[in-house]
Structure formats: structure tokens, C-alpha cells
Amino acid sequence: MTVTDLDAAVPARPHDDSAFVLACRGLPHDHVPVWFMRQAGRALAEYRAIRAQHTFEEVVHTPELAAEVTLQPVRRYGVDAAILFSDIVTPVQALGVGVEIEPGVGPVVEQPFRTPADVDRLRPLEPDTDLAFVLETVSILARELPVPLIGFAGAPFTVASYLIEGGPSKSYSRTKALMYADEATWHVLMERLADITLVSLTAQVERGASAVQLFDSWAGALHPEDYARYVLPHSRRILDAIGELGVPRIHFGVGTGELLGAMAAEGAADVVGVDWRVPLADARRRIPTGVGMQGNLEPAVCLGPWEGVERRVLDVLAAADRAVDHVFNLGHGVLPATDPAILRNVVELVHREGRVGDRRGRGAEPADG
């Protein structure tokens, strides 16, 4: 069966025959694809050199620079996919909400969302004007990249947490307080953020992104019942609509061991990103049949000696059992202190040892009974 037979309504896209896209679809290919969350960034001297001359926002708002920074890890590491250089708060920042990326901190909101009226600060996103710089970056990358481009967005809960808390948080107490105390306002906020996210992702796919990743980085802070009630329906709406566009959807969060099943329930995602806390064999049992897995080397292991990294990479490959629907990644982002040579070696090792078997993922019924 070919990709075209499988999905006759969707025209073939440029990287549909890449190991990364095939793995996301659970289709045969020859090696386990690998990329790293936060693969562009401070671990790379060539990124630090650009950041010495420009702020984070300048890089994101200058398509040539954003494209260059996206390409750097592809050249340096030989990864099987690139991820657009941007941030999860870029769309709300473009709406004039007053968000800045503070070096060493992350997104900081000048006037955090504290009243129901704050929701009206989020007008609908007009991609061609509000996100023209992002879309130009995507267009450049679609032309220049030798590997598929992953478009991305923050999921409504995670973006809301920055808007409400005003910056990074440990407890998410203000976010949860709004959720429990004023459910109506909560859902309006989530709906607006879901609309913004969907418009942004759709535009990235139209300009050439080969797959998308929805980052619900902080959803692991939620009780499963609350996740199902307050968050999942909004993320589902985004993922379902992107599914119609015919590109693979990866759904990722940190500390989501208890949410893994829900994150891909009823075909909501093609691949679930697994953080490093959950052994992949356990994750496999929690993720629905026919849905792939991405992950999940503990990022801090890469700060230690190569012998330790090698053993843990082989452990991850073994736990994934050579499944055709495994995408190798870290269990969260590259830590800035990581030696790039270690990541280069990880890619080589995964490519050498990660020969894919001819079976589907272990979540699927065995083909030969």
C-alpha cells in the first residue's frame, strides 16, 4: 500500500516519503527517524552567535534569520526533521497582548489576564498580516530544507497558563482558580486560543509544513478528570481540523503519564510525545492502538559521558521494540549545556541501530496473527 492509496483525497506532499512522515503514519521505512525538541537554541554556538547580535524576537521576526536558525541543527546533527523557529506565544504576541520573551526566563506577560474582560484582548488571528513573518519563514524552509518541516503551536491550556500567570509557573494556581471558579469564562478563553492556534497551524501547513506538533507542555499539571473536562475538547477541535489537512499530528506534554491515553483518544493524534518519566513500554500500553510514539531519552543524560548516553539510547530503541511508528526524540527539550557532539552521536547511533522491523507499532494488531 502506498501513501497515495491510503489517503487518496490528499495530494502527495514533498516529504511524504521521508522516514519521519512515514513513521508518523505507521508506514514502512528503513530507519528510526530522530529529531530533538528545542534542537535550535543555546546548545549551538552558531545560534548563540546570532543571538549575540539580535534579540529572540528579532530572530523570529526576520524570516532569513529564523530560517537559518531552523536549519542549523539539521546541518549540525543530521536530524530527520526540522522544527520551525518561533515560540508558542508568537501568535498571541502578534495580537498585541503584550508578551515578551525574557532571556533566561521565557514568556512574560505585561498585564496578565485576571478578569473575564481580558478575554476580549484576544481578537481573531489574521494569518497573512499578523503572522506574515512566520509564514515567510515557513515558505523559505519549505524550499530549502532537505528534511520535513514540523510546524507547531502551543495548545490552549499551556498558552493560557502564560497569559494568566504572567510568566512561567510551578503551581498554575491562578490558571486553575479561573478554571474552577468561572468555567464559562474559562471555556471562552480556551475557544479563542483554540481558534488562534488552528488558524496558525493551518497557515503553516498551507505554506509547506509537513507535520505539526501541538505543545501542551504543562497539561501534566492537571488531574485527568480536569484535563478531560476543561482542556481536551479544545485541543481535540484543533487536532481534528488539522487531521483533515492530511498531515501527521504529534501531541506532546510534560508529566503526562496519566494523560497519554486521552491525548490520542478517538484518533485525535497520529503520534503522542512521551516525556522521559514514563518507560516507553508502559507508554505503549497507555497509548491507543494504531497511534505512534515519540520520545523519550531523558535530556539530562546527554550532560553525562557518552557511554551512559549510548546505553540509554539503546534502551529507548529496545523499549520501542523497532516499531514502525516510533520517532526518536528526547523526553523534553535539549538542555542549553548539552555538548552538540553528543547529540550528533545520538543521531548516528539511532540511524545505525534503529533498523525498523516490518511490523506495525506494538499498539496494533499483529499482521500475521
**Residues 48-77 within binding reach of ligand 1CP (CB under 6 A):** 51, 56
Q: How many residues does the chain have?
A: 369
Stretch that binds ligand 1CP, among 84-92, 261-269, 297-305, 318-326 (CB under 6 A): 84-92
Give residue for cell 494569518. Answer: 127
Rounded to a whole number of angstroms, the minimum distance from the CB of residue 32 to ligand 1CP is 20
Q: Should residue 190 be labelled a site residue for ligand 1CP when binding is judged by CB under 6 A?
A: no
Rounded to a whole number of angstroms, the minimum distance from the CB of residue 182 to ligand 1CP is 24
Count helices and strands in the chain by DSSP H and E runs: 17, 9
Q: Which residues are known to be catalytic?
A: 38, 42, 51, 87, 162
Cell triple for 49: 552567535
User: Using CB atoms, what's the residue nearest to ligand 1CP?
Assistant: 106
What is the separation, in whole angstroms, between the first and last Cα of the chain? 19
Residues 155 and 238: beta-carbon distance below 8 Å: yes
Number of shown-chain residues binding ligand 1CP (CB under 6 A):
21
Cα 281 to Cα 127, 286, 296, 330, distances in angstroms: 40, 9, 11, 16
**Residues 324-353 within binding reach of ligand 1CP (CB under 6 A):** 333
Rounded to a whole number of angstroms, the minimum distance from the CB of residue 30 to ligand 1CP is 25
Enumerate the H helices of 2-154 as residue ranges: 3-6, 19-24, 45-53, 56-61, 63-77, 90-94, 127-130, 132-144
Q: Should residue 145 be labelled a site residue for ligand 1CP when binding is judged by CB under 6 A?
A: no
Residues 122 and 95: beta-carbon distance below 8 Å: yes
Residue 18 or 161 having the CB closest to ligand 1CP? 161
Among 2, 30, 103, 357, binds ligand 1CP (CB under 6 A): 103
Q: Should residue 37 be labelled a site residue for ligand 1CP when binding is judged by CB under 6 A?
A: yes
Rounded to a whole number of angstroms, the minimum distance from the CB of residue 220 to ligand 1CP is 10
SS3 179: helix
Rounded to a whole number of angstroms, the minimum distance from the CB of residue 217 to ligand 1CP is 3
Among 16, 68, 80, 87, binds ligand 1CP (CB under 6 A): 87
Among 23, 43, 88, 193, binds ligand 1CP (CB under 6 A): 88
Cβ neighbour number for residue 366 with a 10 Å cutoff? 8
Among 157, 215, 276, 328, binds ligand 1CP (CB under 6 A): 215
Cα 303 to Cα 316, 337, 353, distances in angstroms: 17, 7, 22
Q: Should residue 107 be labelled a site residue for ligand 1CP when binding is judged by CB under 6 A?
A: yes
Phi–psi pair at 148, nearest 5 degrees: -65, 150
Residues 81 and 35: beta-carbon distance below 8 Å: yes
Residues 77 and 343: beta-carbon distance below 8 Å: yes
- Which residues contact ligand 1CP (rule: CB under 6 A)? 37-42, 51, 56, 83, 85, 87-88, 101, 103, 106-107, 152, 168, 215, 217, 333
